[in-house]
Structure 1
Amino acid sequence: MILIISFVDNEHVRRVVQHLTMPHEIIDLGWFPSLMRMHAFAGAQADAFFLDLPDGRRLALDEVGAVWHRRIRSFTLDPALTDEVSRTFAWSECTEALDGLWHGMGCFWMNPPHADERALKKVYQHRLAGRVGLRIPETLVTNGPDEARAFVEAHARTGVIRKAFRNIPQAPRATLKVGPEELRQIDAVRFAPVIFQEYIPLALDLRVTVIDGEIFTTAFRSTREYEVDYRGGIGSAEVFPHDLPDEVGGKLLEMMRRMELRFGAADFRLTPEGEYVFFEINPAGEYLFCVDRTGQPIPQAIAAALERHARAHDR
């Protein structure tokens, strides 16, 4: 049995489900706790985990052999809880209860929730990537204006990129080169830390999708206007499969092993001199923009990994 924790209208999930041959169930955490019930029995008389689904079926979590945890939705609390204290308490209790279920399930996870959350931390990623031997841009994360100004000045020849940790809808921030306007506002970094990185010259941008040790690399040759961030120019870019050198792939796999990730979508840049530079890894990154342009069998690989581990669990 395969459990997919996501939501039913997720196109990335739908494309994988097409290739599953084993029983599977998709659950949406947005159903919990209003429409979905959890039950964890423990003691001499019973030891079992269950979810009661909105359609009335009971799902025995101890029969699950593999879990795909991808881009969850938030809980939906009962509207009868109107005061903030009650809603905060209910949210906390829901989080603790479900986390206990997930940790108690002795099966394969792609990826464990705690690993997903840790992998999103850019500062952690930067240090770990360097320690496994991947080439990373010279980087400074700071909320100190003096340090930021000195870093920009030290890399004036190549230029410096400014990034946000997470792009939130309420306050989107583009990834861009630091120019005169940004320098005039550099004292504003005192309000919150900013990621500064040396600009890396561009030959190709690479999206490297890793699934349980299997590597799929997609190259993007973009026009000059997208030299800082290729994502805006995907539609006009030349897109094709790329062979990642074994040495670079081995270091990426070691990084993922240390992060406890079975799935990850990493961004690299290949320089004109042939150097592979690691930028970041997303534990739930998108891949259909690669699949649809290259035909790489990434959904099939995800389905195969889930079924492989589910069958091993059943044995």
Structure 2
Amino acid sequence: MIVVCGITSDPSTALVIAALDQLGHTHAVLHQRRFEEAPIDAQIVGAHIEGRVLTDLGPIDCASVTGIYSRFMDWTVLPEVCDGPEETVERCRTWHHALSNWIEIAPGCVMNRAGASASNQSKPYQTQLIRQAGFQVPETLVTNDPELVHDFRARHGLLVYKSISSVRSIVQVLNDDADARLPLIRGCPVQFQRLIPGTNVRVHVAAGTVFATRVVTNGLDYRYADRTEFLPWQPPDELAEQCTVLADHLGLPLAGIDLILTDDGQVFCLEVNPNPAFGCYENRTGQPISNAIAVGLERGEGQRSAAVCQVGCSSNPAPCGLPSSAARRPRHA
């Protein structure tokens, strides 16, 4: 049994449901906005959860679930919560807490567990994990000291700045106007990076299958650019394999990896999204990302140890129990 958790109108979630339907895989849906209609009667026994949850297919045994696709939105901003009484807020909180606990320890393939996704809560921490997996990362400074930023800018030239956390921010160049506002960072550390000129590439790794998209844009942050074109791209085998190793290194059966390809052939990794909104890429390129997700959920593929190497461990992932880069070849779309 496969369970899809989230809001069915979300494009990525809708594509996964459609792919499961097309493949004929039995699946249930836990509608996030219908928490009042889907009570959970379960308890943790040892390292397992025993009990049932009510879904659109009726009650299902938690132990029968072998695959979970989880794409939750922030429950605190759901209309049912924002406009509801305190009792509704508490029921929503309790429902999401119970569901999150179940997803975290459920057997089978889970895309993705909160523990593995947590690296994205701290961009500086995730950057160190990315480097451990063998990728180059832009020179980075996290600080609330304007003078350190001036020194960093003098050494590296053009800089960009963005949020340290997983909260979305618009990536912008540190121009003279922004430089004049640097005293404001004393109240909140900011991440600054050397601007890497090149081509944006988004790589989705779904249960070991690699889908790469070249992004042609007229803006620095293509999510907010006036003109953006998504083009399916076949990465070299070595780069595709490196992306699968990175996803495994982070414990993510599903990952959205943001790369920059420079004109002289270098590859830099900017960050890894553990909850990628892949729908816009699939819809604009025709790449069957949702199909790979559905197949992985059915087969239980992509399930890895949730352990993530600590910052101080060797840059070679193999000693930490993670697969070495030579252990397997990636599957291209």
Structures share a fold, TM > 0.5? yes
What is residue 232 of structure 1 aligned with on the other side?
224
Residue 240 of structure 1: SS of its match in structure 2? strand
Taking the aligned partners of 1:121 and 1:195, their CA distance within structure 2 comes to 11
What is residue 2 of structure 2 aligned with on the other side?
2
Residues 29 and 73 in structure 1, CA contact (< 8 A), matched pair in contact too? no
1:254 aligns with 2:245: yes
Residue 146 of structure 1: SS of its match in structure 2? helix
Distance change in 2, residues 1:144/1:217 (3 Å): same
Distance change in 2, residues 1:6/1:191 (3 Å): same
1:28 aligns with 2:31: yes
Residues 68 and 110 in structure 2, CA contact (< 8 A), matched pair in contact too? yes
* 1:181-200 → structure 2 map (5 Å cutoff): 181-200=177-196
Q: What TM-score, normalized to structure 2?
A: 0.78
Residues 5 and 70 in structure 2, CA contact (< 8 A), matched pair in contact too? yes
Provide, for residues 244-297 of structure 1, a one-character-per-residue CA deviation record: whole Å limited to 9, x for no partner: 223333332222212110001111111111111111111111223222332211
Taking the aligned partners of 1:74 and 1:146, their CA distance within structure 2 comes to 40
AA in 2 matched with 1:231 = R
AA in 2 matched with 1:52 = L
Aligned-residue offset at 1:42:
6.7
Distance change in 2, residues 1:153/1:116 (3 Å): same
Taking the aligned partners of 1:231 and 1:92, their CA distance within structure 2 comes to 31
Residue 72 of structure 1: SS of its match in structure 2? coil
What is residue 17 of structure 2 aligned with on the other side?
17
Taking the aligned partners of 2:246 and 2:7, their CA distance within structure 1 comes to 28
Residues 120 and 166 in structure 2, CA contact (< 8 A), matched pair in contact too? no
Paired residues in the alignment total 292
Distance change in 2, residues 1:104/1:301 (3 Å): closer
1:81 aligns with 2:93: no
Residues 38 and 53 in structure 2, CA contact (< 8 A), matched pair in contact too? yes
Aligned-residue offset at 1:198:
0.3
- Flag the structure with larger Rg: 1
What is residue 161 of structure 2 aligned with on the other side?
162
* 1:1-315 → structure 2 map (5 Å cutoff): 1-20=1-20, 21-32=24-35, 34-41=36-43, 48-53=50-55, 57-74=58-75, 79=84, 81=86, 94=95, 96-156=97-157, 159-165=158-164, 173-202=169-198, 204-223=199-218, 226=219, 228-233=220-225, 236-309=227-300
Distance change in 2, residues 1:295/1:93 (3 Å): closer
What is residue 319 of structure 2 aligned with on the other side?
none
Residue 18 of structure 1: SS of its match in structure 2? helix
Residues 123 and 165 in structure 2, CA contact (< 8 A), matched pair in contact too? no
Taking the aligned partners of 1:274 and 1:130, their CA distance within structure 2 comes to 18
Provide, for residues 42-75 of structure 1, a one-character-per-residue CA deviation record: whole Å limited to 9, x for no partner: 77xxx8321134x793222211110011133416
Residue 263 of structure 2: SS of its match in structure 1? coil
Taking the aligned partners of 2:276 and 2:120, their CA distance within structure 1 comes to 12
Distance change in 2, residues 1:2/1:92 (3 Å): closer
Taking the aligned partners of 2:130 and 2:260, their CA distance within structure 1 comes to 14
After alignment, is 280-289 or 176-185 more displaced?
Answer: 280-289
Distance change in 2, residues 1:16/1:29 (3 Å): closer
AA in 1 matched with 2:190 = V
Q: Which runs of 5+ in 1 are unaligned?
A: none
